[in-house]
Amino acid sequence: MSLIVQKFGGTSVGTIERIEAVADKVTEFRRQGHDIVVAVSAMSGETNRLIGLAHELQSQPTPRELDVLISTGEQVTIALLSMALNKRGCPARSFTGSQVKILTDSAHNKARIKEIDGSNIRAELKRGRVVVVAGFQGSDEDGNITTLGRGGSDTTAVALAAALKADECQIYTDVDGVYTTDPRVVERARRLEHITFEEMLEMASLGSKVLQIRAVEFAGKYNVPLRVLHSFQDGPGTLISLEESLEMESPAISGIAFTRDEAKLSILGVPDTPGIAYRILGPISDANIEVDVIVQNAAADKTNDITFTVSRGDMVKAEAILHETAKELGAREVVTDAKIAKVSIVGVGMRSHAGVASKMFKTLADISTNIQLITTSEIKISVVIDENFLELAVRALHTAFDLDDTSSESA
């Protein structure tokens, strides 16, 4: 008998019928004798609806109150799923994040889990009950309700699995595993049997929303065996683990991630002197704006241009700061562009394959896609391009790096 943490996402609990279907599934696992802890998301669309209500009132909703509001979505689902389980003769009890005692820091709307007191859950499991926990939330030292950022129920599940030393953490969702790229964008995307934490971490941080990045971080840190599966279709899903592929010929690239969530800002014609990057980017980070890609190029006339990207929601704030800095430094111009996208190729195989970058650049050249910015790390290469070319670029790269699923094609 094992202890399994199962997480069901928003679409999987989006209607009463689906909640009943989830209850059937959980009951079946329980009948097999496993101890089950279930973490659930809000019903699909609910978190967005609640955020929309807050924005009708305030353009920048008070962070503490926003958390009180948006944490209610998950509270609805834990109650409904527990009722559905009890109805099936499968004893279950619901817990909000703070009832479990999921202790977080006080960074409202993007809190980090510090500690989980598993004693309540263990006591309930001992009584033979299924424990149903509200995902995406916790509370801080002072008892304020906090939430963990969009997609945070994944992190709740993995953190519970780590705290309870579960045998496996199963993330049930609306696709049957982790794919080479978003299967809703590339029809020929292929399900991966296996992906390393390292690769999954890059994929998540570069825009693949199938798992929240913090969930992958947690799973890697505590070595929680993690599997992504379809809620209502049987299948092996995708295992995320430490080991690299055992195949002899591991591919150069395992997956392609992309995001439309960023915006690009440039400050042109600043003096090329020591400390200039700090003078420009210091005030941006002081305003708590995260900077992603940064490129600096020096011109022959002893001036510099610095270009960087921030998340699109921060663009207006960053632009105002940059105009201030431009005035102070006597810069020539500030230019912004929100119509950009970032495409990244990811794979541990990159370490042992040469020519990956040039193949990427040639593929983009062949479809006349202009590369605006490039950044690389050991296992990924990212390019910033015009948003209009995004889907074309992802498909072309998917084919060029032999990721297409050709199994359904006739010979």
Q: In the complex, which residues of this chain contact ligand ASP (CB under 6 A)?
A: 9-10, 41-42, 47, 73, 135-136, 150-154
Minimum Å gap between C-beta 14 and ligand ADP is 9
In the beta sheet, which residues pair with residue 380? 346, 377
Q: Could you tell me the smallest distance in angstroms from the CB atom of residue 209 to ligand ASP?
A: 9
Considering the complex, what minimum distance in angstroms separates the CB of residue 109 from ligand ASP?
Answer: 11
47 carries a ligand binding annotation: yes
Where would I find the beta strands (DSSP E) of 91-192? 92-95, 102-104, 113-116, 130-134, 137-139, 145-147, 168-173
User: Three-state SS for 6?
Assistant: strand
Please check if 210 is assigned to a binding site: yes
Q: Which of 110, 122, 209, 260 touches ligand ADP by CB under 6 A?
A: 209
Report the first-to-last Cα separation within the chain, whole angstroms.
45
178 binds, among ligand ASP, ligand ADP, Mg ion, none (CB under 5 to 8 A by kind): ligand ADP
**Nearest distance, CB of residue 258 and ligand ASP, angstroms:** 19
Check: CB of residue 173 under 8 Å from CB of residue 154. Answer: no
Residue 208 binds to ligand ADP (criterion: CB under 6 A): yes
**Residue among 340, 334, 325 at smallest CA distance from 305:** 334
Is residue 179 involved in binding ligand ADP (CB under 6 A)? yes
Gap between the Cα atoms of 127 and 91, Å rounded:
9
Contact yes or no for 182/341 (Cβ under 8 A): no
* Identity of the residue, 41 or 309, whose beta carbon is nearer to ligand ASP in the bound complex: 41
Amino acid at site 14 = G
Smallest separation (angstroms) from ligand ADP to the CB of 8: 7
173 binds ligand ADP (CB under 6 A): yes
Determine the interface stretch with Mg ion among 43-51, 130-138, 146-154, 329-337 (rule: CB under 5 A). Answer: 146-154
Which residue lies nearer to ligand ASP by CB, 135 or 207? 135
Options 20-28, 136-144, 180-188, 354-362: segment touching ligand ADP (CB under 6 A): 180-188
| H-assigned helices in 108-173 | 119-126, 153-163
Q: How far apart are CA 52 and CA 75, in angstroms?
A: 18
Q: How many whole angstroms separate alpha carbon 129 and alpha carbon 123?
A: 9
Per the annotation, does 7 bind a ligand?
yes
Q: Using an 8 Å Cβ cutoff, are 116 and 39 in contact?
A: no
Q: How far is the CB of 97 from Mg ion (least distance, A)?
A: 16
Site for ligand ADP in 135-164 (CB under 6 A): 151
Is the Cβ of residue 147 or residue 173 nearer to ligand ADP in the bound state?
173
Selection from ligand ADP, ligand ASP, Mg ion, none that 401 binds (CB < 5 to 8 A by kind) is none
| Residue 151 touches Mg ion, criterion: CB under 5 A | yes
Q: How far is the CB of 165 from ligand ASP (least distance, A)?
A: 23
**Per-residue binding letters, 181-200, with ligand ADP (x by CB under 6 A):** xxxx----------------
CA angle 44, 46, 51 (to 5 degrees): 135
Residue in the shown chain whose Cβ atom is closest to Mg ion = 151
Q: Which residues of 23-43 are buried (b: 16+ CB within 10 A; e: fewer)?
A: bebbbebbeeebbbbbbbbbb
Residue 137: exposed, middle, or buried by beta-carbon count in 10 A (0-12, 13-18, 19+)?
buried
Residue 25 among known ligand-binding residues? no
> What is the rounded distance in angstroms from the CA atom of residue 275 to the CA atom of residue 44?
47
Give the range of 50-58, 95-103, 177-185, 356-364 binding ligand ADP by CB under 6 A.
177-185
Place of tokens 């440039």: 266
Residue 172 marked in a binding site: no
β-bridge partners, 257? 344
Contact 274, 248 (CB under 8 A): no
Q: Residues at the annotated binding site for substrate?
A: 47, 74
The binding site consists of 7-10, 47, 74, 173-174, 179, 184, 209-210
**What residues make contact with ligand ADP under the rule CB under 6 A?**
9-12, 41, 151, 173-175, 178-179, 181-184, 208-210, 255
